[in-house]
Amino acid sequence: MTAKLGLDPAKVIEARELARRAGEPVTRMARTHTTVSIERAVLRLAGLDGADADGMPWVNRLTDAVREAAGLEHGVALPAWDAMLAGGHPDLRALAEQAAAGQVKFRIPDGRDAVAAREAAARSVQAGLAKIDAQRALRARMITDIADPPKPWIYLIVATGDIYEDIPQAQAAAREGADVIAVIRSTGQSLLDYVPEGATREGYAGTYATRENFRLMRAALDDVSRELGRYVRLTNYASGLCMPESAALAGLERLDLMLNDCMYGIIFRDINPVRTFIDQRFSRQVHARAGIVINTGEDNYLTTADAVGAAHTVVVSQLLNEYFAREAGLEDWQLGLGHAFEINPAVPDSFLLELAHAQLVRELFPDAPLKYMPPTKHMTGNVFAGYLLDAFFNLCGFMTGQSILLVGMMTEGIHTPFLADRDLALENVRYVRQAAGRLGESFRPEPDGFVARRARLVLDEAVDLLRRICAGGLLQAIADGTFGVTKRPPAGGRGLDGVIERAGGYFNPAIVALEGGV
């Protein structure tokens, strides 16, 4: 894209280099550790599904049994497939049932037994990855056969709590112009250390993310895609304590985008930082294989911190998310980096500030499908002012070439928006697109004017912050409340007990395949 802000190329290079230096220690930690969710994801890729009579997934039961008997330092694959071969169990489901009943002995095999276990595990996991590959190929064929909507993609939320209510709402939203449907996850699911099973009809402020719910919604959107003649994308969440498993299930059921941020779960859900960084690397490796676009969560920082004073922390987080994503194998077209239109409208020149921030992000990440979030923090309940503010957001998005626009609702500050509110919001988008969709072609801020100077200042502040993070460490920066104000120490939060340091000889057939490109 055409540069408009006069950014110093050397400063941009320095920012990326500093982000790499800040992120590398975390990457080394992720390479030397595993988690219970990563090991459960291996079992899911190998085909283990379902739950016991209490609703606890068999992947949890089997992983827990292996950990108790043999530990997970060598991974779940070696002891699980060794026990399956030695005991003559027909499949992982039978092994899990027997293990839950205390009727299986697990060990770390060696010699020929270890070779046999590795080969059997690799074959099973490869079958799961082959399914992910097939789903990626199917997506590409559907986009070719139907059509791919032009950017910006219009992104709309459904969140009834009942998958069978979500489906008609999602299809209606697509018919009204939505290109991406986000099924909001039930409040608190990120804190569950298991993935619920089956189709669900009860959820608070959202619908449980389960494999069956993924399957049902993807099938419904396939139907409406064919009806409308354009491919409608589906997104959900790969975050919280089951990030790796959610990523695997998303790949198996052909989700197209996943909310996946390197720090969101730490800051806003109090998930342990170490657990989060380890889990997010594996989840992004799966996303890379599945052709899934990640959506990061920098917009959330501005709901707790001042959108002007903390603008540079958004850029720092985006640079870190870019580094972690690329290191895990994601390509630039998969980096749906997030930011938001959250400056207090009472601030003088607020729209110019928003333009500066949005254009800065666009120029820093020219090939990324940026996801732009609408105003929420300053939606007061005045629906007329809210509708106007959303129009300004839409205008800023079109002017600065954002890739994914989450539709703002004028009743955001009052209640969960009604269907009529959504229709009005989509009408707002359509009007701005038709009236000013090409305005960005003529948008040229003065080289030393307010917008360009503000953008360069934010980049300078981001570089200064990255230097400080490199000096003190990323985990310490998070503990100090650098992002989103909230302080999260490395040993705090939920999920640290699910982190395991890898032993020599650790074996994970999924990681071997994902990193080897097999």
Beta-carbon count within 10 A of 361 CB: 24
152 prior amide bond cis, ω within 30: yes
Are residues 290 and 139 in contact, defined by beta-carbon separation less than 8 angstroms? Answer: no
**Could you tell me how far CA 99 lies from the centroid of its own chain?**
33
- Locate 38 and state its tokens: 């990563």
CA–CA separation, 435 vs 399, rounded Å? 12
Closest CA to 128 of 39, 48, 218: 48
Q: Which residues contact 326 (CB under 8 A, 6 or more apart)?
A: 332
CA–CA separation, 197 vs 49, rounded Å? 8
Largest separation between any pair of C-alpha atoms in the chain:
74
- Locate 333 and state its tokens: 């077209």
Q: Which residues contact 491 (CB under 8 A, 6 or more apart)?
A: 272
Q: Is the dihedral of CA 469, 472, 478, 484 positive or negative?
A: negative
CA–CA separation, 416 vs 133, rounded Å? 37
Are residues 314 and 359 in contact, defined by beta-carbon separation less than 8 angstroms? Answer: no
Sheet holding 335-336, edge to edge: 335-336, 293-295, 257-259, 233-237, 180-183, 153-158, 404-406, 371-373, 338-340
Say whether 380 sits in a helix, a strand or coil.
Answer: coil
Closest CA to 405 of 416, 415, 395: 395
* Alpha-carbon Rg for the chain in angstroms: 23
Strand partners for 499? 35
CA–CA separation, 103 vs 408, rounded Å? 55
Listed in sequence order, the DSSP H helices in 32-156 are: 36-45, 58-70, 77-87, 92-100, 111-145
CA–CA separation, 49 vs 328, rounded Å? 26
Are residues 406 and 390 in contact, defined by beta-carbon separation less than 8 angstroms? Answer: no
What residues are annotated to the active site?
264, 299, 371
Residues in the chain: 518
CA–CA separation, 176 vs 178, rounded Å? 6
